[in-house]
Protein backbone atom coordinates (compact mmCIF):
# COMPACT_ATOMS: atom_id res chain seq x y z
CA UNK A 1 0.00 0.00 0.00
CA UNK A 2 1.41 3.38 -1.02
CA UNK A 3 1.58 6.36 1.30
CA UNK A 4 -1.26 8.06 -0.59
CA UNK A 5 -3.53 5.03 -0.50
CA UNK A 6 -2.90 4.61 3.23
CA UNK A 7 -3.94 8.22 3.78
CA UNK A 8 -7.12 7.64 1.79
CA UNK A 9 -7.99 4.52 3.76
CA UNK A 10 -7.34 6.34 7.03
CA UNK A 11 -9.72 9.19 6.17
CA UNK A 12 -12.57 6.92 5.04
CA UNK A 13 -14.27 6.63 8.49
CA UNK A 14 -14.21 10.40 8.83
CA UNK A 15 -15.78 10.83 5.39
CA UNK A 16 -18.65 8.59 6.48
CA UNK A 17 -18.98 10.49 9.76
CA UNK A 18 -19.01 13.87 8.00
CA UNK A 19 -21.56 12.69 5.47
CA UNK A 20 -23.91 11.34 8.13
CA UNK A 21 -23.74 14.55 10.17
CA UNK A 22 -24.62 16.62 7.10
CA UNK A 23 -27.34 14.14 6.14
CA UNK A 24 -28.96 14.44 9.56
CA UNK A 25 -28.82 18.23 9.39
CA UNK A 26 -29.84 19.20 5.84
CA UNK A 27 -30.16 22.77 4.63
CA UNK A 28 -32.21 24.04 1.71
CA UNK A 29 -30.77 26.18 -1.08
CA UNK A 30 -29.50 29.61 -0.02
CA UNK A 31 -29.94 28.53 3.62
CA UNK A 32 -26.82 26.37 3.96
CA UNK A 33 -25.04 28.51 6.55
CA UNK A 34 -25.17 25.70 9.15
CA UNK A 35 -23.55 23.29 6.69
CA UNK A 36 -21.02 25.92 5.64
CA UNK A 37 -20.13 26.58 9.29
CA UNK A 38 -19.63 22.85 9.83
CA UNK A 39 -17.40 22.59 6.75
CA UNK A 40 -15.36 25.61 7.82
CA UNK A 41 -14.82 24.11 11.27
CA UNK A 42 -13.43 20.92 9.71
CA UNK A 43 -11.24 22.88 7.31
CA UNK A 44 -9.79 24.76 10.27
CA UNK A 45 -8.47 21.52 11.76
CA UNK A 46 -6.82 20.15 8.62
CA UNK A 47 -3.15 19.06 8.82
CA UNK A 48 -2.03 21.97 6.64
CA UNK A 49 -2.99 25.64 6.63
CA UNK A 50 -5.79 26.61 4.27
CA UNK A 51 -6.74 30.10 3.17
CA UNK A 52 -10.48 30.07 3.91
CA UNK A 53 -13.02 32.58 2.57
CA UNK A 54 -16.79 32.97 2.74
CA UNK A 55 -17.82 34.65 -0.51
CA UNK A 56 -21.41 34.20 0.64
CA UNK A 57 -22.77 33.22 4.07
CA UNK A 58 -23.77 29.81 2.69
CA UNK A 59 -20.58 28.83 0.84
CA UNK A 60 -16.94 28.17 1.67
CA UNK A 61 -13.83 28.51 -0.49
CA UNK A 62 -10.45 27.23 0.66
CA UNK A 63 -7.04 27.41 -1.03
CA UNK A 64 -4.20 24.97 -0.41
CA UNK A 65 -0.94 26.56 -1.53
CA UNK A 66 1.61 23.98 -2.52
CA UNK A 67 5.15 23.92 -1.20
CA UNK A 68 6.89 22.69 -4.34
CA UNK A 69 7.00 25.96 -6.22
CA UNK A 70 4.81 27.99 -8.53
CA UNK A 71 2.21 26.41 -10.74
CA UNK A 72 -1.36 26.73 -11.98
CA UNK A 73 -4.42 26.81 -9.76
CA UNK A 74 -6.84 23.90 -10.12
CA UNK A 75 -10.25 23.67 -8.47
CA UNK A 76 -12.48 20.95 -7.03
CA UNK A 77 -16.13 21.67 -6.34
CA UNK A 78 -18.83 20.12 -4.14
CA UNK A 79 -22.43 21.29 -3.75
CA UNK A 80 -24.06 21.33 -0.31
CA UNK A 81 -27.82 22.00 -0.53
CA UNK A 82 -30.62 19.56 0.24
CA UNK A 83 -34.11 19.10 -1.23
CA UNK A 84 -37.64 19.84 0.05
CA UNK A 85 -38.60 16.18 0.62
CA UNK A 86 -39.79 14.21 3.63
CA UNK A 87 -37.21 11.46 4.10
CA UNK A 88 -38.49 7.86 3.93
CA UNK A 89 -35.14 6.10 3.47
CA UNK A 90 -35.18 4.34 6.83
CA UNK A 91 -31.53 5.24 7.43
CA UNK A 92 -30.62 5.43 11.15
CA UNK A 93 -29.10 8.85 10.43
CA UNK A 94 -32.15 10.20 8.57
CA UNK A 95 -32.89 13.90 8.41
CA UNK A 96 -33.80 15.57 11.69
CA UNK A 97 -35.57 18.38 9.83
CA UNK A 98 -39.13 17.57 8.68
CA UNK A 99 -39.66 18.08 4.97
CA UNK A 100 -35.97 18.46 4.08
CA UNK A 101 -33.52 15.73 3.09
CA UNK A 102 -30.37 15.04 1.12
CA UNK A 103 -31.87 13.05 -1.75
CA UNK A 104 -29.26 13.83 -4.39
CA UNK A 105 -26.04 13.05 -2.55
CA UNK A 106 -24.77 16.55 -1.92
CA UNK A 107 -23.95 15.46 1.62
CA UNK A 108 -21.66 12.82 0.11
CA UNK A 109 -20.14 15.30 -2.35
CA UNK A 110 -19.23 17.58 0.55
CA UNK A 111 -17.78 14.77 2.67
CA UNK A 112 -15.81 13.38 -0.29
CA UNK A 113 -14.22 16.76 -0.94
CA UNK A 114 -13.35 17.15 2.74
CA UNK A 115 -11.67 13.74 2.63
CA UNK A 116 -9.69 14.66 -0.47
CA UNK A 117 -8.57 17.89 1.18
CA UNK A 118 -7.25 16.06 4.22
CA UNK A 119 -5.23 13.70 2.03
CA UNK A 120 -3.87 16.51 -0.13
CA UNK A 121 -2.88 18.51 2.96
CA UNK A 122 -0.52 15.66 3.90
CA UNK A 123 1.30 16.02 0.55
CA UNK A 124 1.26 19.82 0.44
CA UNK A 125 5.03 20.00 0.05
CA UNK A 126 4.84 18.01 -3.19
CA UNK A 127 2.20 20.24 -4.80
CA UNK A 128 3.13 22.88 -7.37
CA UNK A 129 0.77 25.83 -7.45
CA UNK A 130 -2.56 26.04 -5.66
CA UNK A 131 -5.62 23.84 -5.28
CA UNK A 132 -8.91 25.64 -4.68
CA UNK A 133 -11.77 23.83 -2.95
CA UNK A 134 -15.25 25.20 -3.57
CA UNK A 135 -18.11 24.23 -1.26
CA UNK A 136 -21.02 25.64 -3.18
CA UNK A 137 -24.51 26.59 -2.09
CA UNK A 138 -27.78 26.53 -4.05
CA UNK A 139 -27.15 24.03 -6.83
CA UNK A 140 -30.80 22.99 -6.86
CA UNK A 141 -32.40 26.35 -7.64
CA UNK A 142 -32.34 29.25 -10.06
CA UNK A 143 -30.51 31.59 -9.78
CA UNK A 144 -27.83 29.11 -8.88
CA UNK A 145 -25.01 29.25 -6.39
CA UNK A 146 -22.45 28.50 -9.09
CA UNK A 147 -23.44 31.56 -11.07
CA UNK A 148 -23.27 33.73 -7.98
CA UNK A 149 -19.82 32.44 -7.00
CA UNK A 150 -18.50 32.94 -10.54
CA UNK A 151 -19.73 36.54 -10.44
CA UNK A 152 -17.92 36.96 -7.11
CA UNK A 153 -14.63 35.81 -8.65
CA UNK A 154 -14.32 32.25 -7.37
CA UNK A 155 -12.62 31.19 -10.61
CA UNK A 156 -10.13 34.06 -10.73
CA UNK A 157 -6.77 32.55 -11.63
CA UNK A 158 -8.13 28.99 -11.90
CA UNK A 159 -6.94 26.95 -14.89
CA UNK A 160 -9.32 23.97 -14.70
CA UNK A 161 -12.15 22.72 -12.46
CA UNK A 162 -13.60 19.29 -11.64
CA UNK A 163 -16.67 18.01 -9.85
CA UNK A 164 -18.51 14.76 -9.27
CA UNK A 165 -22.11 13.64 -8.78
CA UNK A 166 -23.08 10.37 -7.10
CA UNK A 167 -25.64 8.27 -8.99
CA UNK A 168 -27.37 5.37 -7.23
CA UNK A 169 -28.68 4.02 -10.55
CA UNK A 170 -25.15 2.92 -11.49
CA UNK A 171 -23.05 0.23 -9.78
CA UNK A 172 -20.18 0.96 -7.38
CA UNK A 173 -16.69 1.12 -8.79
CA UNK A 174 -17.79 3.02 -11.90
CA UNK A 175 -16.97 6.49 -13.14
CA UNK A 176 -19.24 7.69 -15.93
CA UNK A 177 -18.48 10.64 -18.17
CA UNK A 178 -18.44 12.06 -21.68
CA UNK A 179 -16.84 15.01 -23.40
CA UNK A 180 -18.97 17.79 -24.82
CA UNK A 181 -22.51 18.40 -23.61
CA UNK A 182 -23.18 16.37 -20.45
CA UNK A 183 -26.47 17.76 -19.12
CA UNK A 184 -29.21 19.88 -20.60
CA UNK A 185 -30.14 23.49 -20.22
CA UNK A 186 -33.26 24.28 -18.21
CA UNK A 187 -35.88 26.98 -18.68
CA UNK A 188 -38.74 27.02 -16.17
CA UNK A 189 -41.88 28.98 -17.03
CA UNK A 190 -45.26 30.13 -15.73
CA UNK A 191 -48.44 30.57 -17.77
CA UNK A 192 -51.45 32.42 -16.37
CA UNK A 193 -54.73 32.24 -18.29
CA UNK A 194 -57.31 34.88 -17.38
CA UNK A 195 -60.89 33.93 -18.19
CA UNK A 196 -64.21 34.89 -16.65
CA UNK A 197 -65.79 32.97 -13.78
CA UNK A 198 -69.35 31.79 -13.37
CA UNK A 199 -71.63 28.89 -12.56
CA UNK A 200 -70.76 25.55 -14.12
CA UNK A 201 -74.38 25.11 -15.22
CA UNK A 202 -74.06 28.13 -17.51
CA UNK A 203 -70.62 27.89 -19.15
CA UNK A 204 -71.86 29.99 -22.05
CA UNK A 205 -71.77 32.99 -19.71
CA UNK A 206 -68.13 32.32 -18.79
CA UNK A 207 -64.73 32.20 -20.40
CA UNK A 208 -63.60 28.86 -19.03
CA UNK A 209 -59.85 28.90 -18.27
CA UNK A 210 -59.91 25.18 -17.38
CA UNK A 211 -60.87 24.19 -20.92
CA UNK A 212 -58.46 26.74 -22.38
CA UNK A 213 -55.66 25.52 -20.13
CA UNK A 214 -56.28 21.91 -21.14
CA UNK A 215 -56.01 22.89 -24.80
CA UNK A 216 -52.79 24.75 -24.09
CA UNK A 217 -51.26 21.72 -22.34
CA UNK A 218 -52.08 19.41 -25.25
CA UNK A 219 -51.01 21.88 -27.94
CA UNK A 220 -47.66 22.58 -26.31
CA UNK A 221 -46.74 18.92 -26.88
CA UNK A 222 -46.77 19.52 -30.63
CA UNK A 223 -43.68 21.71 -30.24
CA UNK A 224 -41.65 18.60 -29.46
CA UNK A 225 -43.39 16.19 -31.82
CA UNK A 226 -44.01 18.41 -34.84
CA UNK A 227 -41.89 21.56 -34.78
CA UNK A 228 -38.42 20.44 -33.64
CA UNK A 229 -36.20 18.01 -35.52
CA UNK A 230 -35.72 14.58 -33.99
CA UNK A 231 -31.96 15.02 -33.53
CA UNK A 232 -32.36 18.06 -31.29
CA UNK A 233 -35.63 17.14 -29.55
CA UNK A 234 -36.16 18.92 -26.23
CA UNK A 235 -38.29 17.86 -23.27
CA UNK A 236 -41.25 20.14 -22.53
CA UNK A 237 -43.35 19.23 -19.50
CA UNK A 238 -46.21 20.87 -17.62
CA UNK A 239 -45.79 20.00 -13.95
CA UNK A 240 -48.47 22.18 -12.33
CA UNK A 241 -52.08 22.88 -13.35
CA UNK A 242 -53.94 24.98 -10.80
CA UNK A 243 -57.48 26.25 -11.27
CA UNK A 244 -60.46 26.73 -9.00
CA UNK A 245 -60.76 26.32 -5.25
CA UNK A 246 -62.05 22.78 -5.01
CA UNK A 247 -65.68 23.48 -5.84
CA UNK A 248 -67.89 21.26 -7.99
CA UNK A 249 -69.91 23.95 -9.70
CA UNK A 250 -67.80 27.11 -10.00
CA UNK A 251 -65.79 27.90 -13.11
CA UNK A 252 -62.78 29.98 -11.96
CA UNK A 253 -61.37 33.19 -13.34
CA UNK A 254 -57.81 31.98 -13.79
CA UNK A 255 -55.66 28.94 -14.37
CA UNK A 256 -51.96 28.78 -13.55
CA UNK A 257 -49.68 26.39 -15.44
CA UNK A 258 -46.06 25.80 -14.51
CA UNK A 259 -43.55 23.78 -16.48
CA UNK A 260 -40.00 23.19 -17.59
CA UNK A 261 -38.07 23.05 -20.85
CA UNK A 262 -34.93 20.92 -21.14
CA UNK A 263 -32.66 21.35 -24.18
CA UNK A 264 -29.30 20.05 -25.31
CA UNK A 265 -29.14 22.54 -28.19
CA UNK A 266 -28.77 26.27 -27.54
CA UNK A 267 -30.61 27.16 -30.75
CA UNK A 268 -33.62 25.12 -29.70
CA UNK A 269 -33.47 26.72 -26.27
CA UNK A 270 -33.95 30.12 -27.92
CA UNK A 271 -36.69 29.02 -30.34
CA UNK A 272 -39.04 27.12 -28.03
CA UNK A 273 -40.09 30.09 -25.84
CA UNK A 274 -41.23 31.90 -28.99
CA UNK A 275 -43.31 28.87 -29.96
CA UNK A 276 -44.82 28.62 -26.48
CA UNK A 277 -45.90 32.27 -26.65
CA UNK A 278 -47.44 31.76 -30.11
CA UNK A 279 -49.47 28.74 -29.00
CA UNK A 280 -50.71 30.25 -25.73
CA UNK A 281 -51.57 33.55 -27.40
CA UNK A 282 -53.43 31.84 -30.24
CA UNK A 283 -55.55 29.59 -28.05
CA UNK A 284 -56.43 32.20 -25.45
CA UNK A 285 -57.27 34.77 -28.11
CA UNK A 286 -59.57 32.31 -29.87
CA UNK A 287 -61.56 31.95 -26.64
CA UNK A 288 -61.56 35.62 -25.70
CA UNK A 289 -59.22 35.08 -22.75
CA UNK A 290 -56.04 36.88 -21.73
CA UNK A 291 -52.68 35.37 -20.83
CA UNK A 292 -49.17 35.96 -19.57
CA UNK A 293 -46.12 33.74 -20.14
CA UNK A 294 -43.09 34.40 -17.95
CA UNK A 295 -39.75 32.61 -17.95
CA UNK A 296 -37.36 32.23 -15.04
CA UNK A 297 -33.64 32.75 -15.44
CA UNK A 298 -32.34 29.74 -17.41
CA UNK A 299 -29.71 27.19 -16.49
CA UNK A 300 -27.20 26.64 -19.27
CA UNK A 301 -25.91 23.30 -20.55
CA UNK A 302 -23.03 21.65 -18.74
CA UNK A 303 -20.23 21.20 -21.23
CA UNK A 304 -17.25 18.99 -20.42
CA UNK A 305 -14.08 20.41 -21.91
CA UNK A 306 -12.21 17.78 -23.92
CA UNK A 307 -8.85 18.34 -22.20
CA UNK A 308 -10.42 18.18 -18.73
CA UNK A 309 -12.41 15.09 -19.73
CA UNK A 310 -9.19 13.42 -20.92
CA UNK A 311 -7.68 13.94 -17.47
CA UNK A 312 -10.71 12.35 -15.77
CA UNK A 313 -10.61 9.38 -18.13
CA UNK A 314 -6.85 8.91 -17.71
CA UNK A 315 -7.10 9.03 -13.92
CA UNK A 316 -10.03 6.59 -13.82
CA UNK A 317 -8.39 4.12 -16.21
CA UNK A 318 -4.70 4.34 -15.33
CA UNK A 319 -4.16 6.11 -11.99
CA UNK A 320 -6.89 4.92 -9.62
CA UNK A 321 -7.08 1.13 -9.45
CA UNK A 322 -10.34 -0.79 -9.25
CA UNK A 323 -12.36 1.79 -11.18
CA UNK A 324 -14.26 0.99 -14.37
CA UNK A 325 -14.57 3.97 -16.69
CA UNK A 326 -17.87 4.10 -18.60
CA UNK A 327 -18.27 6.36 -21.61
CA UNK A 328 -21.76 7.85 -21.54
CA UNK A 329 -23.26 7.41 -25.02
CA UNK A 330 -25.52 10.47 -24.87
CA UNK A 331 -26.05 13.61 -22.86
CA UNK A 332 -28.55 13.61 -19.99
CA UNK A 333 -31.70 15.70 -19.70
CA UNK A 334 -31.04 16.37 -16.03
CA UNK A 335 -29.67 19.76 -15.03
CA UNK A 336 -26.73 20.92 -12.96
CA UNK A 337 -25.27 24.37 -12.50
CA UNK A 338 -21.71 23.08 -12.96
CA UNK A 339 -22.02 24.47 -16.48
CA UNK A 340 -21.59 27.97 -15.04
CA UNK A 341 -17.98 27.07 -14.23
CA UNK A 342 -17.41 25.37 -17.57
CA UNK A 343 -18.65 28.45 -19.41
CA UNK A 344 -15.70 30.40 -17.98
CA UNK A 345 -12.81 27.92 -17.77
CA UNK A 346 -12.19 24.30 -18.86
CA UNK A 347 -13.99 21.89 -16.57
CA UNK A 348 -15.35 18.37 -16.27
CA UNK A 349 -18.14 16.86 -14.18
CA UNK A 350 -18.29 13.07 -13.84
CA UNK A 351 -20.73 10.60 -12.28
CA UNK A 352 -19.74 8.21 -9.51
CA UNK A 353 -21.73 4.96 -9.38
CA UNK A 354 -23.24 4.61 -5.91
CA UNK A 355 -25.74 1.75 -6.12
CA UNK A 356 -25.63 -1.80 -4.81
CA UNK A 357 -27.82 -4.90 -4.63
CA UNK A 358 -29.55 -3.86 -1.41
CA UNK A 359 -30.35 -0.28 -2.37
CA UNK A 360 -30.79 -0.64 -6.13
CA UNK A 361 -34.59 -0.74 -6.21
CA UNK A 362 -37.14 1.05 -8.35
CA UNK A 363 -37.87 3.46 -5.50
CA UNK A 364 -34.20 4.27 -4.86
CA UNK A 365 -32.95 6.93 -7.21
CA UNK A 366 -31.68 10.47 -7.03
CA UNK A 367 -34.48 12.81 -5.90
CA UNK A 368 -36.43 9.98 -4.27
CA UNK A 369 -37.61 10.24 -0.66
CA UNK A 370 -36.19 6.70 -0.32
CA UNK A 371 -32.75 7.67 -1.62
CA UNK A 372 -30.05 5.46 -0.07
CA UNK A 373 -26.40 5.85 -0.95
CA UNK A 374 -23.81 3.09 -0.90
CA UNK A 375 -21.34 4.77 1.45
CA UNK A 376 -18.54 2.41 0.41
CA UNK A 377 -18.21 4.31 -2.87
CA UNK A 378 -17.28 7.58 -1.20
CA UNK A 379 -13.69 6.42 -0.93
CA UNK A 380 -13.69 6.11 -4.74
CA UNK A 381 -14.70 9.76 -4.93
CA UNK A 382 -11.83 10.70 -2.64
CA UNK A 383 -9.44 8.64 -4.76
CA UNK A 384 -10.64 10.31 -7.95
CA UNK A 385 -10.32 13.83 -6.57
CA UNK A 386 -6.88 13.08 -5.13
CA UNK A 387 -5.84 11.33 -8.34
CA UNK A 388 -6.87 14.32 -10.44
CA UNK A 389 -4.88 16.76 -8.33
CA UNK A 390 -1.85 14.48 -8.02
CA UNK A 391 -1.83 14.06 -11.80
CA UNK A 392 -2.04 17.78 -12.50
CA UNK A 393 -0.22 19.42 -9.59
CA UNK A 394 2.37 16.88 -8.40
CA UNK A 395 5.27 16.00 -10.72
CA UNK A 396 5.93 12.22 -10.90
CA UNK A 397 3.10 11.58 -8.45
CA UNK A 398 2.47 8.07 -7.12
CA UNK A 399 -0.87 6.41 -7.78
CA UNK A 400 -3.59 6.78 -5.13
CA UNK A 401 -3.93 3.01 -5.52
CA UNK A 402 -6.64 1.30 -3.59
Local confidence band at 266 (pLDDT 50, 70, 90 cut-offs): confident
Q: How many other CB atoms are found less than 10 A from the CB of residue 2?
A: 12
Q: Tell me what the mean pLDDT of segment 382-394 comes to.
A: 98
Residue 104 assigned to a binding site: yes
Q: Tell me what the mean pLDDT of segment 152-168 comes to.
A: 99
Phi then psi for residue 366, to 5 deg, are -60, 135
Question: Quick one: fold of 185-295?
Answer: Alpha-Beta Plaits (3.30.70)
Residue 287 assigned to a binding site: no
CA separation (Å) from 304 to 21, 134, 295, 331?
32, 18, 26, 11
User: N- to C-terminal Cα distance for the chain?
Assistant: 8
- Catalytic-labelled residue, pool 24, 32, 79, 139: 139
Q: In this predicted structure, what is the pLDDT of residue 396?
A: 78
Euclidean distance between CA atoms 309 and 286, whole angstroms: 51
Q: Where are the domains of the chain?
A: 3-183+301-393, 185-295
Catalytic residue status for 79: no
CA separation (Å) from 187 to 233, 296, 299?
15, 7, 7
Tell me the per-residue pLDDT of 230-259, one tens digit each, with 9 for 90 and over: 999 999 999 999 999 999 999 999 999 999
Euclidean distance between CA atoms 188 and 203, whole angstroms: 32
Q: Is the pLDDT of residue 1 over 50?
A: no
Euclidean distance between CA atoms 181 and 184, whole angstroms: 7
Tell me the per-residue pLDDT of 66-87, one tens digit each, with 9 for 90 and over: 999 999 999 999 999 999 999 9
Q: Are 172 and 374 in contact (CB under 8 A)?
A: yes
Residue 204 assigned to a binding site: no
Residue 327: which H helix or E strand, with range?
A: strand 324-327
Tell me the per-residue pLDDT of 126-158, one tens digit each, with 9 for 90 and over: 999 999 999 999 999 988 999 999 999 999 999
Euclidean distance between CA atoms 272 and 264, whole angstroms: 12
Catalytic residue status for 139: yes
Write out the DSSP string of 111-145.
HHHHHHHHHHHHTGGG--SEEEEEEE--SSSSS-H
Q: In this predicted structure, what is the pLDDT of residue 87?
A: 98
Q: Is the pLDDT of residue 334 over 60?
A: yes
Tell me the per-residue pLDDT of 287-298, one tens digit each, with 9 for 90 and over: 999 999 999 999
Q: Is the pLDDT of residue 362 over 90?
A: no
Residue 109 assigned to a binding site: no
Local confidence band at 359 (pLDDT 50, 70, 90 cut-offs): low
Pairing of strands 158-167, 73-79: parallel
- Catalytic-labelled residue, pool 24, 81, 167, 337: 81
Q: Which neighbouring-strand residues pair with 136?
A: 79
Q: In this predicted structure, what is the pLDDT of residue 395?
A: 84
Q: Is the pLDDT of residue 324 over 60?
A: yes
Question: Quick one: fold of 3-183+301-393?
Answer: Aminopeptidase (3.40.630)
Amino acid sequence: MTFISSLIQAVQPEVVQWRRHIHENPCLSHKEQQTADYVESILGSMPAKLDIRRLTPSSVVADLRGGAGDGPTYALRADMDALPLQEESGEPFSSKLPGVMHACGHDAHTAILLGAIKVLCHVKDKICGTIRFIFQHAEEVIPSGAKQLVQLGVLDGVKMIFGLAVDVSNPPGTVLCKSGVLTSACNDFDIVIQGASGHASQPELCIDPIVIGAQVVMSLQTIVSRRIGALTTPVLSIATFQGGRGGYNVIPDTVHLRGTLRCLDSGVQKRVPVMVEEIVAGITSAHGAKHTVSWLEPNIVTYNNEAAYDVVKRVAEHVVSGITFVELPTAMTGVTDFGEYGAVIPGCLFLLGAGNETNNSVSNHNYSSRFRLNENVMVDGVRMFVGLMMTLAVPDAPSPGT
